[in-house]
Amino acid sequence: AYARQYQCGVATVEEVRQNPNVPFYFFLRNPYERLRAAWAYHNSQAISLPAHLGRASWTEFCDAVLAGVMDHHWAPQIEGLAREPDEVFQFERVGRVWPDLTGHEMPRLNDVKSSKPVEQYRRTELEQLYWLDLEFWEDAE
């Protein structure tokens, strides 16, 4: 949204779907780190997780996600894309890659300093849930 508004006319989902000539670069965040960040953000803000979770502990959150509780903040990222990306980049590298793609710097936005859980609770199962995202993330530049 920032890039679309201030920088370089980033295409909308509909434009990407309708025109195969529109370049489609996808920035994929490490799914386990994304899950940890979503939990930390929701538990540190005035907002909370979906109503039935309230302010869930990390273990309660993991249990809920593995039971099928999804939200766009932690749902798998690769499934349901507008089309296959021309190139996939690791989101963690967006600050280094963005200027090469657009000619503009990308400021650090939404920098929340909440503490993330260090416990590896059900990590193997979570990584199995996000296996496709992990596969693309590991292969990304």
If 0-12 CB within 10 Å is exposed, 13-18 middle and 19+ buried, where does residue 122 land?
middle
Read off the pLDDT of residues 64-86 as tens digits, 9 standing for 90 and up.
899 998 888 899 998 878 888 88
Mean pLDDT of the chain: 81
- What pLDDT is stored for residue 139 in this prediction? 92
Question: Is the model's pLDDT at 10 over the cut of 90?
Answer: no
Q: How far is CA 109 from CA 2, 9, 127, in A?
A: 9, 18, 27
Instruction: Report the Cα–Cα distance between both ends of the chain, in Å, rounded.
Output: 23
Question: Is the model's pLDDT at 46 over the cut of 60?
Answer: no
Read off the pLDDT of residues 87-130 as tens digits, 9 standing for 90 and up.
899 988 888 888 888 777 776 666 656 677 778 899 999 999 99
